Amino acid sequence: MERISIVDGDWSYLGYLEAMKSYFYDYATIFSLKSTWRKRFLANVRVFETCHDQEKREVAISLINEVLSCEKPTALDMLDVATSNQTNQVIKLLEEESDEKYPSIERREELDGPSSKNANSNPDPDASEEDQEEEGSADKIDEFTMDKGNNDKISNGVTNNENGNINFVERDKLTSYIKTIPETQKCLNLAYWNILDLTENTQMKSLFSTNDWEEMVESFNNEVKLIESDLLDVVEYFFDEVEKITKKDDKDIINAIDRLTPEIIEMNRKVELSDEEKNVISTLRRAVVTYAENLERVDLPVSEADFDNAFPNMLAKRFLNKEKLKMDWEIVCWASAYRRNEGRSVVLRARIGQKCDFRGTLKKSINKLEALIGLRSGGLPEPHKKKIYEDKVDLSVAMRDILYTFFKENSKAPSSDIHSTFVFGIHSWGWVHNIYGMDCKATNILRLGCISHSKMPNTLETLPVLESFYVLFKDLQTTLNTICEHTNSVSLAHSRAHRNRKRKNPEQAGEKGGSFGNPSQSPASKKGRKYEDH
């Protein structure tokens, strides 16, 4: 191996990079060997990558590109460089020269002080500090490759030039806004994850004009919404009777509701109920009685798991269709785990996906789409707004990962079909119950909007409010059935992509699939998550 040669007296950062250029990438791509030398080197390179000196910045960027493009690392050369006394001497001088003006990552952490990390809201909870160092060259603070105009878009391996004549205001605004997000706030900002938050309590609203914002919200509400289900009149009959019971000064409300049989409703309403209607009454009565019993047992404080199982998850279990939706509790989102481990070496420890308090998988979907997931933020009393916001971010990123996985598995499906796919997420805290919807409007643009906002009954007198939850879950189930049919049609179109080769129409033959874009990974400094102005 050729020895390192540095001009005497030239201990500048630029001279050091030029002299060591041919050896850095060999060393940086050996993941199995961790050393202080490699950590210091990567830290300093990233610092100078953003420095004001254009010449130094170009050299640093060029060096990182060489690291990323290296395919033939040599262990012996790497060991020779790592043990070189001259190399260690250069590193020492480099640190002395740059630490004051451009503090390294470790130094900046010392100056800023340690910051806490919420275990439940870490987008990549299984990523240790060593993992970050191992993948630093691969992740290197993901910059969004958002396309504009006629730039080619990468659609999960498929090049796509669609929408070249459409100017998406959302993408332009997000692209500019992302550049202004401080490194320590990236994890907690939905814009970093390519998500356009259209909910009312969002800071993104200030980025757009009033007309643009109203147009975007209207477009989302028209395209991502619940389908109204066919409801039987017996639902009204039952909850009218429940309301009468709760208005009486009766200490035995629960038993009175439990005695509310189909025969009593037939007698009071002077109607004859079908078997289907009688089954609906039985389902409603069991759900309301169970809810009331759990409500009566509430004794503050209540843990997150206890509240979730007693109220939101209980209602989902009672009102959603078990034959069409596989429901799991306290389980990891598979799509989230898949995305976090994509491209990751099999010799490294696997990263766990986002843990969900509820997950609904479409049983008859060929992709086993996780069309409905849920997160609960704390028990009672209501948690701090920081916890609520962080869980909303985690839920949104998991929903994004579900869409990304679906796009990747059906990348050859027609763009209009695959881009009309959307999924749901349930987020609850205190007695609040929200349902969010998300779709991928265009490349690197995911829209998040609030489908419903409700409050669960917190006293026996407010039990009639459960009627809205029954209707809500019935509409949700009807919509999930439609999503299942739609996603299967998308998968079928993907499997028939080869037919385009036989078509004589050149436009049809050259049609490309939908374009999701490049999903952003966890930022390099996610360890220092700070909560500011959220």
φ, ψ for residue 424, nearest 5 deg: -120, 155
Residue 380 lies in a domain: no
DSSP 8-state class, residue 321: -
Q: Is the pLDDT of residue 198 over 60?
A: yes
Q: Is the pLDDT of residue 113 over 60?
A: no
Percentage of the chain exceeding pLDDT 90: 49
Q: Is the pLDDT of residue 148 over 60?
A: no
Q: Is the pLDDT of residue 10 over 50?
A: no
What is the model's pLDDT at position 60? 65
What is the model's pLDDT at position 332? 95
Average pLDDT over residues 37-49: 55
Domain that holds residue 81: 13-112
Residue 85 lies in a domain: yes
Q: Is the pLDDT of residue 126 over 90?
A: no
What is the model's pLDDT at position 181? 84
List the single range of 16-25, 47-56, 441-450 with lowest mean pLDDT.
16-25
Strands 422-429 and 158-160: unpaired
Residue 417 lies in a domain: no
State yes or no: cis peptide before 262, omega within 30 of 0: no
What CA–CA distance (Å, rounded) separates 40 from 487? 48
What is the model's pLDDT at position 235? 96
Residue 93 burial by Cβ neighbours in a 10 Å radius (0-12, 13-18, 19+)? middle
Q: Which two tokens stand for residue 3?
A: 């020895």
Q: Is the pLDDT of residue 155 over 50?
A: no
> How many Cβ atoms are within 10 Å of 241's Cβ, its own excluded?
20
Tell me which of 67 and 297 has the higher pLDDT: 297
Q: What is the pLDDT of residues 420-433, one digit of tens each?
A: 999 999 999 999 99
Residue 278 lies in a domain: no
Q: Looking at the 3D structure of the chain, how many domains does it have?
A: 1
Q: What is the pLDDT of residues 275-319, one digit of tens each?
A: 999 999 999 999 999 999 999 999 999 999 999 999 999 999 999
Is 363 within 8 Å of 326 (Cβ atoms)? yes
What is the model's pLDDT at position 281? 96
Q: Could you tell me where the beta strands, DSSP code E, fall in 10-163?
A: 153-155, 158-160
Residue 169 lies in a domain: no
Residue holding tokens 């805290």? 429
Residue 308 lies in a domain: no
Q: Is the pLDDT of residue 393 over 90?
A: yes
What is the model's pLDDT at position 46? 58
For 118-157, give the DSSP string: -TTS-SSTT--HHHHHHTHHHHSSPPP----TT--EEETT
Q: Is the pLDDT of residue 200 over 80?
A: no
Residue holding tokens 């669960």? 456
What CA–CA distance (Å, rounded) separates 488 from 368? 10
What CA–CA distance (Å, rounded) separates 106 from 97? 16
The pLDDT-based confidence of 343 (bands split at 50, 70, 90) is confident
Work out the mean pLDDT of the chain and round it to a whole number. 75
What is the model's pLDDT at position 514? 59
Long-range contacts of 34-40 (CB under 8 A, 24+ apart): 34/130, 34/133, 34/134, 35/82, 37/82, 37/87, 37/88, 37/91, 38/82, 38/133, 39/106, 39/133, 40/91, 40/95, 40/104, 40/106
Average pLDDT over residues 32-60: 56
Strands 158-160 and 153-155: antiparallel
Tell me which of 380 and 139 has the higher pLDDT: 380
Average pLDDT over residues 444-468: 94
What is the model's pLDDT at position 88? 52
List the single range of 357-361, 388-392, 508-512 with lowest mean pLDDT.
508-512
Q: What distances in angstroms separate CA 280 from CA 80, 173, 267, 274, one per listed residue?
A: 76, 49, 17, 10
State yes or no: cis peptide before 123, omega within 30 of 0: no
Indicate whether this model's pTM tops 0.75.
no
What CA–CA distance (Å, rounded) separates 189 from 392? 11
In sequence order, which residues have a C-beta less than 8 Å from that of residue 276 and are 6 or more positions away?
232
Q: What is the pLDDT of residues 204-257, one digit of tens each?
A: 888 888 888 899 999 999 999 999 999 999 999 999 999 999 998 667 899 999
H runs (alpha helix) in 270-420:
275-296, 304-310, 312-319, 334-341, 385-409, 415-418
Average pLDDT over residues 252-265: 94
Q: What is the pLDDT of residues 510-530, one digit of tens each?
A: 455 556 767 766 665 554 444
Q: Which two tokens stand for residue 82?
A: 């790592």
List the single range of 51-55, 143-147, 169-173, 400-404 with lowest mean pLDDT.
143-147
Q: Is the pLDDT of residue 106 over 60?
A: no
What is the model's pLDDT at position 39? 53
Residue 88 lies in a domain: yes
- Is residue 426 within a helix (H) or strand (E), and if so which, with residue range? strand 422-429
Tell me which of 182 and 329 has the higher pLDDT: 329
Residue 80 lies in a domain: yes
